[in-house]
Structure formats: C-alpha cells, structure tokens
Amino acid sequence: MTTPPTVGTPAQPPGETGATVQAEIGIIGGSGFYSFLDGAHETTVDTPFGEPSAPVTVGTCAGRRVAFVPRHGRGHRLPAHRVNYRANLWALRALGARQVLAPCAVGSMRPELGPGSLVIPDQVIDRTWGRKHTIFDDEGAAIHVSFAEPYCPRGRHTVASAAEQVGWPARTGSTLVVINGPRFSTRAESRWHAAMGAEIVGMTGMPEAAIARELALCYTSVAVVTDLDAGFEDGEGVTQTEVFTTFSRSLERLKSLLALAVDELPAGDCVCRHSLDGMNLPFPLP
C-alpha cells in the first residue's frame, strides 16, 4: 500500500495520479442505458479489485459528461451476489465521477406501490452475505464511515424534482431491504421484511451504497417497482420474466427522468464528499 493521504484532505484527485477526468456523473444500471449517451465510447479501467462488470461507457447527456457501467454486465450475465460492486464504483471515481445515479428493479411490500411505481428510498436494510462489503478490508485498514443517512440528500431531491417534471409520482422516504438472491423471498420473509419497516425489496442496493460512501461519492438509488413481493400478491409468486418485462416497459420513462436529473444535479461540494474527512486512509483513492 502507498503512503496514506494527508489527514482531512481528499485522497488524490485524478489530476494528481495521472488519470484523465472523463466524466462528472456516473450511472450504474441495466444494459438498456447504452443508448442513453451521445458520442459514447468504451474505456477500460484497472482497479485494485479486478475488472468492473463491463468496460465503462463514457459519453454526453444533457451537456454533461457521464460514465455508465452495466451493473450485471453485458447480457445480464452476473447475478447480484457476483457483481463486483467495488470495481464498478472505483472505476467511476477513477474517471472523475463524484455523483452516482443507481436505477434498479425492486419488489413492493405495499399494495399501493404497484408495478411501474417509482421509489426514491432514504434508508436501507442490508440482508446480504458473502459479498465484498468494503474497500477497506486489509489489515491496518480499519476505516469506519458514517452510514446513518445512506443516500445523497441532494441527489434524492434532484431525482424527486425530475420525477415530478416528467409526471411520474415518486414515493420518497421509503426503506429498501436488500436480500442476497438470486432467489426471490418466501412469503414469510416478505412479510417479515415489511414488519421491519421496509417497503421495497431488491438484490443490488448493498453493498453498492456503502462502498459509494467509502469512496466519498454522492449515491442516489432510483427504484422502479416491477412486482408485488411474495407476501403481498395472490398468485404463485414473482418470476424473473415478470420482473424483466415490467422494468423494460418503464425504461424509456426512466431514461427521460435520469436525463433531466443529470441536467439538474448540482455541481460542487456535498456532505457525501466529506465521509472520509479526518481519517488516515491506508491508500489513496483515485
């Protein structure tokens, strides 16, 4: 490991490590976002944690430089528990991105939040296991970031405003529970999650959000409901086909929302960027 950065200062920005700033905003989502960017080109980013899910695509949206990585890889080849969340987020930061929008598909545990509903969570419950949950997992790297408020407040406000402008009512102030997958929940698990206070359930929100905080990134989850979870529907339970079909129907509206959010995301400082202030990091960030 290299010498830790100076206490209380950001770990070396891209300009000081030889990297070229190519983007200011990152998007982690499905493969349908390849057509989201103008003048797009792929770039390969080396990370200490291996390869991202796929080469990062960099282009322009709403006049701003955006880097996109497909969370599950090309062709949705990676199940949620095999996604290299650390590499994906490190790559976005290495390209200069400091704000990340993270669209995802979720199930609902509230009947009023039916398929096609938009949710911008403000809290998360982590029920994943066996994943690489931190970038600080070597000996001598006991770094503890605050995670009481897991999502960027400015990002949440911006996405909610964009949703209102495109006529897509957004549920805010909800709790997302993240399960390990790849299977869906049993009815008993679904009802237990609801009893814990969760309203939506997904498989990819953690450790993605926590690693973003460790990288001092502004991270905003944008959740699209694809189904009622097992404990709250009357059929045989949710299927993968149902999830994919419903999410694809919302894709164009989601692109419009995200394009507006990209345009309106405020530049400059944010509380999320100070998550590592005062800490002796065991290695510099990109």
Is residue 60 within 8 A of residue 38, CB to CB? The reply is yes
Give 199's contacts (C-beta < 8 A, 6+ positions apart).
108, 109, 110, 113, 119, 171, 174, 175, 176
* Alpha carbon of residue 144 to chain centroid: 20
Domains of the chain, by residue range, sit at: 14-269
3-state secondary structure of 147: coil
Residues for the chain: how many in total? 286
For residue 188, which amino acid is it?
A
Is residue 23 within 8 A of residue 57, CB to CB? The reply is no
Is residue 170 within 8 A of residue 159, CB to CB? The reply is yes
- pLDDT 10s digits, 194-249: 999 999 999 999 999 999 999 999 999 999 999 888 767 665 556 667 666 767 77
- pLDDT 10s digits, 107-149: 999 989 999 999 999 999 999 999 999 999 987 768 999 999 9
- Nearest CA to 100 among 165, 27, 157? 27
User: For the residues 176-188, what does the mean pLDDT come to?
Assistant: 94
Is residue 88 within 8 A of residue 28, CB to CB? The reply is yes
Residue 130, pLDDT score: 96
H-helix or E-strand spanning residue 94: helix 85-94
- Nearest CA to 252 among 27, 25, 28, 35? 35
Is residue 162 within 8 A of residue 212, CB to CB? The reply is no
Pick left, alpha or beta for residue 213 (phi over 0 → left; psi -120 to 50 → alpha; otherwise beta). Answer: alpha
Residue 10, pLDDT score: 34
What is the rounded distance in angstroms from the CA atom of residue 225 to the CA atom of residue 204? 14
CATH architecture of the region 14-269: 3-Layer(aba) Sandwich (3.40)
Is residue 283 within 8 A of residue 52, CB to CB? The reply is no
Residue 50, pLDDT score: 97
Beta-carbon count within 10 A of 4 CB:
15
- pLDDT 10s digits, 67-103: 999 999 988 899 999 999 999 999 999 999 999 999 9
Active site members: 227, 229
3-state secondary structure of 208: helix
| DSSP bridge partners of 69 | 28
List C-alpha distances in Å: 256 to 33, 167, 189, 216.
11, 11, 34, 27
Q: What is the pTM of this model?
A: 0.89
